[in-house]
Amino acid sequence: MISKKELFRLRQIQRKIASQVTVDDSIKFDDIKTVAGFDVIATGDLFACAAAVVDLKTLRLIESAHSSAKAPMQYIPTLLAFREGPIIMETYEKLKNKPDALMIKGHGMLHPYLAGLATYIGVSLDKPAVGVAKSLICGEKRGNRIFVNGKEAGAELVTRKFAKPIFISTGNKLPLDVCVEIIKATIVEGHKFPEPIHLAHKLGNRVKKQLKAGSGKNSADEESTEE
């Protein structure tokens, strides 16, 4: 467990990140030509992070990159950004084709502190970002929109027949409606998650297998926690 002093410090950073989020209503769906999906997969105390840059119109893979590292801290609910954020930003820096927007497997403003993983990444890199997650950790549903502390923070979307919805939220800069459009445009029939995340997840699994082989561990598969 972390100390109360350290927890207070991290909460202060979250509040600062939340205060720095901007939503640029001038950004339209047609302004976004390329998107990079990011996914982090853990095996034991090792991380594999993968990124997949795709053309938003054709979903053609333009570039991929990956990183691996030891987890910088233990998993603590609502503090995932400090555990997975550094390796995502490291992987982003490896991309030669910088995307117009980032798609993070995790929440953005749909977070108890309005500062989930996608928000942390979007603000830190000063990039348009959208968060997409499979579970809801806070908020009040009103139709297909979700509110946190009375503020519209996210939307739910069913992407596959008979499947539970995924949850979409602004990470930084992108209006929520544009976030939803981006996710809808990147869904491939039969897949629950959008194609940039799907491709990143596949690459991340390959990297994870290499990590497990190299470490000699036989850890069970562990999906990234989404916050």
Q: Is the pTM of this model over 0.85?
A: yes
* Short-list 204, 187, 164, CA closest to 46: 204
The per-residue pLDDT for 220 is 39
Lowest mean pLDDT among 44-58, 150-164, 202-216: 202-216
Residue 32 near residue 217, CB atoms below 8 Å: no
The label of the residue with tokens 């950790």 reads: 137
The per-residue pLDDT for 215 is 60
Higher per-residue confidence, 64 vs 223: 64
Q: Residue 155 forms beta bridges with which residues?
A: 145, 168
Alpha carbon distances (Å) from 138 to 78, 103, 202, 205: 10, 20, 28, 28
The label of the residue with tokens 């503090």 reads: 79
Task: Give the tokens for residue 23.
Answer: 């939503």
Q: How far apart are CA 204 and CA 41, in angstroms?
A: 6
Tens of pLDDT along 26-61? 999 999 999 999 999 988 788 899 999 999 999 999
Structural domains in the chain, sorted by start: 4-215 (3.30.2170.10)
